[in-house]
């Protein structure tokens, strides 16, 4: 099938590459000329396992095209994906200006029936808005053309985006036109073979499903972080509690890992956007607000431990930081807890020596101007001359370090672990002071 994808960000690029891989003919349109040129050379703007070879191969084999020409994009596909960003506006609501611009573009150039598919995470009611914008633009052109607007949210995770897209757990389709369903079934057929993963519903329910999914996951994390804070004060170990409750199949083991707070491009933004949606319709979303508050506080957990250990004034202190990305297997630092931590340390006069397996360029881009941040080539180098070690991301390569080296290199054998990578008892026996999240039993700080 001929498919056009507007917006070559995370969602758009992965979706386009995966659709091309199964044989569809996919045209990607973006306003960013440099990005489009780079993609043609095989230079991918994000780090995502498996994506670079997939894009290169499908581009070279002629199933994946990149262009900045919107007219070309509209002419190409019957299916027109909107996969542009929906950044928060000044009050935290999702800003729809890019979505609206694409809708206007499609209506401006279309000459035949189009199926417009909202892939971006958009508030409930956006499909109606897209429809309205398009009808208006067609009216101005003085033409009458049929089109459909479908909500088809994306559930991919960064770091596993290609795999998630290739093997989706569900394909949510919100539509008010039965005829469109067949087209979507044909489009997604290769991903929907062994059992039917397509869940059909009305458009508004599909739009809400995306927010509900992300907010539910964020809720699980904040709940567990709250339990961690209780465990710390009650002299219990949240890691034991996690296993104890995860074994209940109704609860499950996933997304109950306590830590130094969730980050990324989705959870913080989507929780806030749903709060704003609720407020706009006069509903007070008490639970969602608590999820957000707990997370904001959780990002202060490591700075608080550091204050508890070293005192308020950190002038002249240097901290080794392992992990800058908001989670492993990505170079994405959006809303990462490492940023809150570094900014707190700098505020109190400390400097940071940081290492991340993938996010060094991103850190350089964001913080390159700072003289109190040194980006180091290895995790060992980050510890040279540092007073203590702080861990913000659970990269695999951090999980079994040589503790003798750590002990010899640090000025003081202290580890602040925001992801509970180590056994507190074992570290204490080796002579470390170890701060984990919710590990009151071993910290003995009840």
* Contact pick of 30, 158, 344, 417 for ligand UDX (by CB under 6 A): 158
Question: If binding is defined by CB under 6 A, does position 211 make contact with ligand UDX?
Answer: no
Question: If binding is defined by CB under 6 A, does position 333 make contact with ligand UDX?
Answer: no
Taking the complex as a whole, the smallest distance from the CB of residue 269 to ligand UDX amounts, in Å, to 9
Q: Decide: 95 and 74 in contact? Cβ < 8 Å.
A: no
From the candidates 165, 260, 266, 392, give the one annotated as an active-site residue.
Answer: 266
Distance CA 242, CA 229 (A): 13
Question: If binding is defined by CB under 6 A, does position 367 make contact with ligand UDX?
Answer: no
Strand locations in 162-314 (E): 171-174, 198-201
Taking the complex as a whole, the smallest distance from the CB of residue 366 to ligand UDX amounts, in Å, to 17
Taking the complex as a whole, the smallest distance from the CB of residue 233 to ligand UDX amounts, in Å, to 20
Q: What angle do CA 41, 45, 48 make, to 5 degrees?
A: 110
First to last CA, the chain: 62
* Contact pick of 70, 73, 85, 259 for ligand UDX (by CB under 6 A): 259
Q: Decide: 81 and 119 in contact? Cβ < 8 Å.
A: yes
Beta bridge partners of 27: 4, 65
Question: If binding is defined by CB under 6 A, does position 264 make contact with ligand UDX?
Answer: yes
Cβ distance to ligand UDX smaller for residue 107 or 340: 340
Question: If binding is defined by CB under 6 A, does position 214 make contact with ligand UDX?
Answer: yes
For ligand UDX, how many residues bind (rule: CB under 6 A)?
19
User: % helix / strand / coil in the chain, to the nearest 5?
Assistant: 45, 15, 40
Taking the complex as a whole, the smallest distance from the CB of residue 120 to ligand UDX amounts, in Å, to 11
Is there a catalytic annotation at residue 215? Answer: no
Question: If binding is defined by CB under 6 A, does position 157 make contact with ligand UDX?
Answer: yes
The CB density around residue 402, as the number of other CB atoms within 10 Å, is 10
Contact set for ligand UDX, span 266-295 (CB under 6 A): 266-267
- Cβ partners under 8 Å of residue 317, min gap 6: 310, 349, 350, 351, 387, 388
Taking the complex as a whole, the smallest distance from the CB of residue 157 to ligand UDX amounts, in Å, to 4
Find the helix or strand (DSSP H, E) in which 388 lies: strand 388-391
Cβ distance to ligand UDX smaller for residue 109 or 255: 255
Catalytic residues: 266
Binding residues vs ligand UDX (CB under 6 A): 154-158, 214, 217, 221, 255-257, 259, 262-264, 266-267, 326-327
């Amino acid at each position: 099938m001929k498919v056009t994808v507007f917006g070559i960000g995370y969602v758009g690029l992965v979706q386009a590459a995966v659709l091309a891989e199964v044989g569809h003919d996919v045209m990607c349109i973006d306003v960013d000329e440099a990005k489009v040129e780079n993609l043609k050379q095989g230079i991918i703007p994000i780090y995502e396992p498996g994506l670079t070879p997939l894009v290169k191969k499908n581009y070279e084999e002629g199933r994946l095209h990149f262009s900045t020409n919107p007219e070309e994009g509209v002419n190409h596909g019957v299916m027109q994906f909107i996969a542009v960003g929906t950044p928060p506006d000044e009050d935290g609501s999702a800003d729809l200006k890019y979505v609206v611009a694409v809708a206007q573009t499609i209506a401006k150039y279309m000459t035949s029936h189009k199926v417009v598919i909202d892939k971006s995470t958009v508030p409930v009611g956006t499909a109606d808005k897209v429809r309205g914008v398009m009808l208006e633009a067609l009216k101005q052109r003085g033409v009458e053309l049929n089109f459909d607007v479908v909500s088809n949210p994306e559930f991919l995770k960064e770091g596993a985006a290609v795999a998630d897209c290739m093997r989706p757990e569900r394909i949510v389709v919100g539509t008010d036109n039965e005829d469109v369903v067949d087209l979507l079934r044909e489009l997604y057929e290769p991903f929907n073979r062994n059992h039917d993963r397509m869940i059909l519903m009305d458009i508004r329910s599909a739009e809400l499903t995306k927010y509900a999914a992300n907010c539910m996951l964020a809720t699980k994390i904040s709940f567990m972080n709250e339990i961690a804070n209780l465990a710390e004060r009650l002299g219990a170990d949240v890691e034991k509690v996690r296993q104890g409750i995860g074994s209940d199949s109704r609860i499950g083991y996933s997304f109950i890992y306590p830590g130094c707070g969730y980050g990324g491009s989705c959870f913080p933004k989507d929780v806030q956007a749903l709060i704003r949606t609720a407020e706009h319709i006069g509903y007070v979303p008490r639970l969602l607000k608590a999820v957000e508050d707990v997370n904001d506080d959780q990002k202060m957990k490591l700075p608080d431990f550091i204050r508890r250990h070293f005192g308020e004034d950190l002038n002249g202190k240097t901290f080794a930081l392992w992990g800058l990305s908001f989670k492993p297997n990505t170079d994405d630092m959006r809303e990462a807890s490492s940023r809150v931590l570094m900014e707190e340390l700098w505020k109190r006069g400390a400097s940071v020596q940081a290492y991340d397996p993938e996010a060094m360029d991103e850190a350089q881009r964001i913080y390159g101007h700072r003289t109190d941040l040194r980006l180091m080539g290895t995790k060992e180098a980050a510890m040279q001359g540092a007073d203590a070690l702080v861990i913000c991301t659970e990269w695999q390569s951090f999980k079994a370090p040589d503790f003798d080296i750590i002990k010899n290199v640090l000025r003081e054998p202290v580890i602040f672990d925001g992801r509970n990578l180590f056994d507190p008892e074992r570290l204490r026996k080796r002579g470390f002071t170890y701060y984990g999240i919710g590990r009151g039993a071993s910290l003995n700080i009840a």
